Chains A and B, each alone.
Chain A
């Protein structure tokens, strides 16, 4: 039945060992090598044809050193007083806090509709899709879009930041809600408890640690965003001062000081969030 077209010898004869080329290179690795080689060629080509504007590299690096030195080793106030800078910093933190809190409250209610174990699946899918769309567009763009409607300034910054925070937190919150056990929800349903009391009395207490840690992560993101947005939307916060000092007055001492202030706030936020999370995971 199984007849090969070529006749085979019936006895096994010693076959001369074939010296075939053995390659260790697999297909993905070949592709990777090709990509790297291509990138190397592009790099070499662009470096060779670089228009350096008759820059003297030694001088350029020296000035870079001078600027970095002025920024980070000799930070100081420029046109603005230290008090003004601190007030601007507080504005940034407030902007982050306000948008995170607003976002968190709105997001919680929307997340209830986006959680598959609570809402009908068509609603959950629709909300999740809309939120994914909003998240896909960066915060700064939302701020600019809202500034078309509301004019540049703090209101556009607040609405734009809140908008993106809501989309981000809805995803985080709804996934936390989906992790709660269906059985505990059913236990209360079986005793005639309505929908919202179940959400607030059964689901919320079970997911407090998760909600808290997501909200705090978003607070940190919002602080970073607030700085960037302040510069773009002119919200009169620390980002605006940073922009003015760096690109308008070229006062690098002030740029350095502002960067240090931002760093200090970031470290404080991180410490607070660690403490808060640790506390809730232990005691709740």
Chain B
């Protein structure tokens, strides 16, 4: 009996340890989910951006960070500087290595308060974290100053394709469980392509759970046909552009014929 009690205790401890281990290593236990509607944004002739609704389930006491971004790539820019101490001119080029074309972050609270610096750096959350990971080179391949990264984010923010908004995710605790919802105004300036949505649940300054999904912004109809023609049949596209302009010009000229006269 003594022996069997000790075996039971050992099994209990082992079972508790295994459960504890699962609690730490298996984030699916928190069952974070993320759904995006629509999954495809069509670019039509009257397209002027769209509304993206992102919803899902989350643990009740976790904060949330939602990052929408495109795949990182190198971006070539020109920078302005003073020439001869008097005039502002484009002085040279800068290459920003591995930066996303679009970077939109939404959170339930202040990013710097809910997530440690180490974790922000690891998951590329916030401009400081991005700046640390981004190499900026000038024309000669030499590293450029950090101030140019700040200028870069300012430039992208003005284009509406970089934005960090804190406290914008709404959470609800009700019969349907712990849900969240955010409506993102998708900027029309964002080019067509596939975009990543990363949803992170954070607690005590650390990422405790995460999930990801994607959506596509796609040209359709006449927009798709014309874009394809401009690339695949450039000569025909050029001739068509010229002929239609000539026809429009002369047609309107003919309409105004009655208004003519001689000097």
Q: Do A and B come from one complex?
A: no
